[in-house]
Amino acid sequence: MTITPVILCGGSGTRMWPLSRSGYPKQFLALYGEATLLQQTANRLDGVAGIQAPMVVTNDEQRFLVAEQLRQINVQGAQLVLEPVGRNTGPAIAAAALIALKDNPDAMLLVLPADHVIENTALFQQMVERAAPHAAAGKLVTFGIEPTEAHTGYGYIRRGAAQADGDGAYQVAAFVEKPNAGRAEEFLASGDYYWNSGMFLFRADAYLRELARFAPDVLERIEQAVDLSQRDLDFLRLNREAFSASRSDSIDYMVMEHTQHAVVLAAAGLGWSDVGTWTALAAISPLDGNGNTFVGDVVAHGASNSFVRSEHRMVAVLGVDNLVVIETADAVLVASKENAQDVKKIVELLNAQGRVESEAHRRVFRPWGSYEGVDSGERFQVKRIIVNPGASLSLQMHYHRAEHWIVVSGTARVVNGDKNILLSENQSTYIPLGTLHRLENPGKVPLEMIEVQSGSYLGEDDIVRFEDNYGRIPGH
For residues 371 and 362, the answer to whether their CB atoms sit within 8 Å is no
C-alpha–C-alpha distance, residues 192 and 202, integer Å:
23
Closest CA to 365 of 3, 23, 120, 25: 23
Please say if the pLDDT value at position 224 is more than 70: yes
The number of angstroms, rounded, from the C-alpha of 467 to the middle of its chain's C-alpha atoms is 29
Question: Average pLDDT over the chain, rounded to whole?
Answer: 94
Share of the chain above pLDDT 70, in %: 98
Domains (range + CATH), the chain: 3-273 (3.90.550.10), 278-352 (no CATH), 363-467 (2.60.120.10)
pLDDT (tens digit per residue) in 301-359: 999 999 999 999 999 999 999 999 999 999 999 999 999 989 999 999 999 999 989 98
Output the pTM of the full model: 0.89
Please say if the pLDDT value at position 377 is more than 50: yes
The number of angstroms, rounded, from the C-alpha of 76 to the middle of its chain's C-alpha atoms is 19
pLDDT (tens digit per residue) in 388-416: 999 999 999 999 999 999 999 999 999 99
What does the buried/exposed string (b/e) look like for 268-279 if buried means 16 or more CB atoms within 10 Å of the residue's CB? eebebbbbbbbb
pLDDT (tens digit per residue) in 107-123: 999 999 999 999 999 99
User: Counting beta carbons within 10 angstroms of the beta carbon of residue 426, is it exposed (0 to 12), middle (13 to 18) or buried (19 or more)?
Assistant: exposed
Report the DSSP pairing between strands 419-423 and 272-273.
unpaired
